[in-house]
Structure 1
Amino acid sequence: MDEGTVSVRYMVDDVEASVAFYTSVLGFEVLNDFAPAFADVRRGNLRLLLSGPTSSAGRPMPDGAVPGPGGWNRIHLIVDDIDGEVERLRAAGAAFRNDVLSGPGGSQVLVQDPSGNVVEIFEPRIA
């Protein structure tokens, strides 16, 4: 990995389904695939580590808590045409948490991977 690469880990229920989603729906490429335990994929400078329940990252903590997918933390992917991207994602069967929202910096929508992890699709406002 070069110094410009940012790595983020997502806990997932099914590594194979997650690899399929990130590669075929969101345009990532596979770096390593050790399914069913683990895989990592890349899009630009983002390396996304997909850790299943049998991965070392899925082991219970000393207090018994078990890492799992979901939540509100998310990766943020910038697009040029959010409406077109939403249409493409819907046609691919992607699940959304909301409709497109507009704010001071641009427009965003939240799509979920097969395990319920959130990916924000964002179109910046042109100044």
Structure 2
Amino acid sequence: MPPMLGVLEAALYADDLDAARGFYGDVIGLELVTAKEGRHIFFRCDTTVVLIFRAEATREPPAPDTLPVPPHGAIGPGHLCFSVPMAALDDWVARLTGAGVAIESDFFWPNGARSVYVRDPAGNSIEFASPKLWDMPE
């Protein structure tokens, strides 16, 4: 097998990019990398980039004079899980609820890992979970 380093980027879709900027930038505190009005907003999360697109803007084939990125807009809510040290999950719950974000679910898995689920403004399922969920080191 050729080597693989991990996940470089993950994409979610939102119609309201301003609301997405508020959630991912202000509430979660991700660093803005770049934005294009009406098309996308990208954030850095450690070694991963979180891409938020307006799906309609990514369904069109690329123009001949642009980069040849194929269409890839999704339909419906997606899911993204942030890896969070177990000891920091209570702080995340406090930060999210303090920002008015409702906790959809907060529970411990049979292996002792904890997951906290919320919805972003576009309805995507956003999880904050201890790495133990997948037997990863913290």
CA contact (8 A) 2:93 2:103 kept: no
- Runs of at least 5 residues in structure 1 that lack an aligned partner in the other structure: 60-65
Query: Number of residue pairs matched?
Result: 116
What is the CA-CA distance between 1:69 and the residue it aligns to? Answer: 4.0
Higher share of residues assigned strand: 1
Report sequence identity in percent.
24
Task: Give 2:8's aligned residue.
Answer: 6
> For structure 1, which segment, 78-87 or 41-50, has the greater mean C-alpha deviation from structure 2 after superposition?
78-87
Task: Give 2:84's aligned residue.
Answer: 78
CA contact (8 A) 1:76 1:120 kept: yes
Map 1:62-101 onto structure 2 (within 5 A).
67-71=74-78, 73-79=79-85, 80-98=87-105, 100-101=106-107
- TM-score of the pair, normalised by structure 2: 0.71
Q: Structure 1: how far apart are the matches of 2:40 and 2:94?
A: 30
CA contact (8 A) 1:27 1:43 kept: no
Higher share of residues assigned helix: 2
Q: Give the partner amino acid of 1:28.
A: L
Task: Give 1:123's aligned residue.
Answer: 130
Rg comparison, structure with higher value: 2
Aligned CA distance change for structure 1 residues 69 and 30 (closer, same or farther; 3 Å): farther
Map 1:22-61 onto structure 2 (within 5 A).
22-57=24-59, 59=60
CA contact (8 A) 1:40 1:50 kept: yes
CA contact (8 A) 1:94 1:111 kept: yes
Q: Structure 1: how far apart are the matches of 2:37 and 2:76?
A: 16
Q: Structure 2: how far apart are the matches of 1:53 and 1:111?
A: 21
Q: Give the partner amino acid of 1:109.
A: V
